[in-house]
């Protein structure tokens, strides 16, 4: 999965109108090379999640782009998704056992090398660290350059850099990460595709 040029991994907003967002996502997938999309809805309404997943699955799979869902392990097979993205690494071994080797099982490990190593040992297909940039959300901790540098040199499991990314972050971390996880950085803008192109301009 690792290449000289990091791949792009899109993260949905925590809430969206399915039809409107579907059109926005399709436009980006048609214009940019995207490796994976993460459905990251905040709602716990099962019907709402299922409707969104159905719409996004049709869009992503028609373009050979993987679709994973955040947290909801039991919904992966039911909704025909490609895998799950977990923040609780204690569930990783169960996810790998339940979903099998072909499914994508990713892990968000915050800013902690220890959690990343545990996730990798538990069978994660990728480990995500973040936030990279400055954000008023959370406790103020950030995933620093040293973490990505160490990981890229020592660990074979692909790594995702995400959270409040700037163009400068992308330029600096490009040699040290396999994926950039991009969400609100572009969806908060009227023209998400233009925002994506600007953000990732350092990748060439």
18-27, 42-51, 83-92, 134-143: segment of lowest average pLDDT: 134-143
pTM: 0.96
d(CA 106, CA 91): 11
Kindly state whether residue 122 falls inside one of the protein's structural domains: yes
pLDDT of residue 136: 82
**Number of Cβ atoms within 10 Å of the Cβ of 143:** 25
- Band the pLDDT of 4: cuts 50, 70, 90: confident
* Residue 58 near residue 74 (C-beta atoms within 8 A): no
| Predicted pLDDT at 169 | 98
Q: Give residue 137's pLDDT band: very low, low, confident or very high (50, 70, 90).
A: confident
* 92-97-103-104 Cα dihedral, nearest 10 degrees: 10
User: Are residues 133 and 169 in contact, defined by beta-carbon separation less than 8 angstroms?
Assistant: yes
Please tell me the predicted confidence (pLDDT) of residue 203: 96
Confidence of residue 2 (pLDDT cuts 50, 70, 90): very low
**Is 115 within a domain?**
yes
Beta strand 104-108 pairing with 83-86: parallel
Q: Is residue 1 part of a domain?
A: no
- Give mean pLDDT, residues 188-200: 98
What is the C-alpha radius of gyration for the chain, rounded to an integer number of angstroms?
16
When the pLDDT of each residue in the chain is averaged and rounded to a whole number, the result is: 96
pLDDT at residue 3 is higher than 80: no
Q: Which residue has the tokens 């996880």?
A: 181
Identify whether 65 is part of a domain: yes
Report the percent of the chain where pLDDT is more than 90: 93
pLDDT over 70 for what percent of the chain? 99
pLDDT score recorded for residue 29: 98
Number of domains the chain is built from? 1
pLDDT digits (tens, 9 = 90+) for 166-190: 999 999 999 999 999 999 999 999 9
Q: What is the DSSP string of the chain?
A: ---SSPEEEEE--SS--HHHHHHHHHHHHHHS-EEEEEE------HHHHHHHHHHHHHHHHTTT-EEEEES-TTHHHHTT-SEEEES-GGGHHHHHHHH-TTSEEEEE-TT-HHHHHHHHHTT-SEEEE---S--SSTTS----HHHHHHHHHH--S-EEEESS--HHHHHHHGGG-SEEEESHHHHTSSSHHHHHHHHTGGG-
pLDDT band, very low/low/confident/very high, at 138 (cuts 50, 70, 90) = confident
- The answer to whether position 178 is within a domain reads yes
Is residue 98 within 8 Å of residue 108, measured between CB atoms? no
Question: Domain with 62 in it: what CATH number?
Answer: 3.20.20.70
pLDDT of residue 89: 87
pLDDT digits (tens, 9 = 90+) for 56-106: 999 999 999 999 999 999 999 999 999 999 999 889 999 999 999 999 999
Supply the range of the domain harboring residue 68. 7-203
d(CA 65, CA 68): 10
Q: For residue 130, which phi and psi values (nearest 5 degrees)?
A: 170, 175
């Amino acid at each position: 999965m690792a290449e000289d040029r990091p791949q792009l991994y899109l993260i949905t907003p925590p809430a969206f109108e399915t039809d409107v967002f579907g059109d926005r996502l399709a436009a980006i997938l048609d214009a940019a090379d995207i490796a994976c999309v993460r459905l990251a809805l905040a709602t716990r309404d099962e019907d709402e999640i299922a409707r969104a997943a159905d719409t996004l699955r049709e869009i992503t799979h028609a373009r050979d782009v993987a679709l994973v869902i955040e947290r909801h392990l039991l919904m992966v097979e039911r909704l025909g998704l490609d895998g799950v993205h977990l923040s609780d690494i204690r569930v990783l071994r169960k996810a790998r056992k339940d979903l099998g080797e072909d499914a994508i099982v990713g892990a968000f490990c915050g800013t902690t090398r220890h959690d990343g190593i545990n996730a990798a040992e538990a069978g994660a297909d990728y480990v995500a660290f973040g936030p990279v940039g400055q954000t008023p959300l959370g406790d103020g901790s950030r995933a620093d350059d040293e973490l990505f540098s160490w990981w890229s040199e020592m660990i074979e499991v692909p790594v995702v850099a995400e959270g409040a990314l700037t163009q400068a972050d992308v330029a600096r971390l490009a040699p040290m990460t396999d994926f950039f996880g991009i969400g609100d950085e572009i969806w908060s803008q009227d023209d998400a595709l233009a925002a994506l192109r600007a953000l990732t301009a350092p990748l060439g």
